[in-house]
Structure 1
């Protein structure tokens, strides 16, 4: 193994940490900006040095997904795989993977039109949570507390042109403490976890939630690894909530997971774990 490549579209602290850790372990690194690359189907040889394995770290889900597809066409090992990125990037696909593998998750309902969603809610009742099937950082995730809220949210959706807005993803509202848990999994290990504490509805760090180190219990690790395997495994961020009646439930698995904040307090060296996993994945 001589070189590891990190593909990005915005050079953040995480990508710099990965580069530094790889070089400290004795590996050459190449840092490639996906925005300025040109690939084609004429040849599997390119002008870019992708090394022996690529860590795909694009902020843009669609850019990263399509870039990963090209890398797999070129027979270049990439983490995470295209199938994993696909499963994690769409909340409906992800939830179906969790359910198929019997990972505890909130009850979720799908409708494919405004009218279908209204009928679904008439049977289920309120409150519920509506989420866009594609999106990050809590954007578009809203509580539906009553029919008036539903009417307002659905009206806005009908005015947009986004094809994914025609998919209505409705999830039960979990009775939880004012926090959730983010677990970073690398292969079959949970390498770090934190509480994301917020008095508001959303617990995203990007929206102001406060991080706090979370002890990785056997229950948390087992559930996180089971969730990771359900979508195909790799380097992932597993989000779970503490339901007062059901216990831990997984509500999301993230593909290109951020880890800067958690790295400051985690007991293990998260970027080092990621680099070593990438190297070992192509040595097998």
Structure 2
């Protein structure tokens, strides 16, 4: 859909731009496109799931972490740096092994666990040489020991609809990297933390990644573009149907807000 979409930014309304819809469900994996599109649609008064603000906070790992920290949600210690030398000092602060992540990206790509300064310098220098703006922002995170698994909790509206363990021998336990999904019970702790994390970023449709640590559960990140193919093998819940139901609720709330003359 987004490949064929034209957004006339000078149009006063969606109808004037040739777009006549009640609600827009964002499932675009290209978050930059999603952000521009959602902001434009919101300007025209079209309700969206998720909002442009939520997508922005979840597309950028630094923004995601800031939102979680502001809400006092447990998350691994993270430091931002803008030069290789400063990033190396940050690695010393969080301790080795340290985890280096791009501030934008998905599917567990371009993550590195570095075990010492020599390895860290090699990875950081390579990132810097790539030249793009985002590769010059170094996101350094403490490595938190965990079982060979993480937890993906899928949140729709005000409910944790389903959860799964994602198990792999590799330290990156991501379904896109081959992790095996198995059922995970939705405990009160998982439910509470996942819902609070979504509230922190304003998301009503999200995949929340949690890890089990000796100090309890921690949130890695909230994904507004959370995919659920792996989760489907672990639950009888019709996730797609629930997503559509939530989109309809968003449309109804938007219509009521419009009639009342208030913002959505």
Give the structure-1-normalised TM-score.
Answer: 0.85
- String of CA shifts for 1:216-257, please: whole Å, max 9, x gaps: 1111111100110010121001000001x2111000100111
The alignment status of 1:272 with 2:241, answered yes or no, reads yes
Residue 108 of structure 1 corresponds to which residue in structure 2?
A: 78
Residue 30 of structure 1 corresponds to which residue in structure 2?
A: none
Residue 111 of structure 2 corresponds to which residue in structure 1?
A: 141
The alignment status of 1:46 with 2:14, answered yes or no, reads no
How many residue pairs match? The answer is: 250
Residue 251 of structure 1 corresponds to which residue in structure 2?
A: 220
- String of CA shifts for 1:184-243, please: whole Å, max 9, x gaps: 101110001111100012111111111111111111111100110010121001000001
- 1:192/1:267 contact within 8 Å kept: no
Bigger CA drift: 109-118 or 78-87?
Answer: 109-118
Distance 1:116 1:265 in 2: 43
Distance 2:162 2:92 in 1: 41
Distance 1:124 1:42, change over 3 A: closer
Q: How does 1:181-196 map to 2 (within 5 A)?
A: 181-196=151-166
Residue 75 of structure 1 corresponds to which residue in structure 2?
A: 45
Moved over 6 A (4+): none
The alignment status of 1:240 with 2:204, answered yes or no, reads no
Distance 1:126 1:264 in 2: 36
Q: How does 1:16-55 map to 2 (within 5 A)?
A: 33-43=1-11, 44=13, 45-49=16-20, 51-55=21-25
Bigger CA drift: 113-122 or 250-259?
Answer: 113-122
Give the structure-2-normalised TM-score.
Answer: 0.91
Distance 1:167 1:53 in 2: 35
- 2:181/2:233 contact within 8 Å kept: no
The alignment status of 1:228 with 2:198, answered yes or no, reads yes
Distance 1:181 1:260, change over 3 A: same
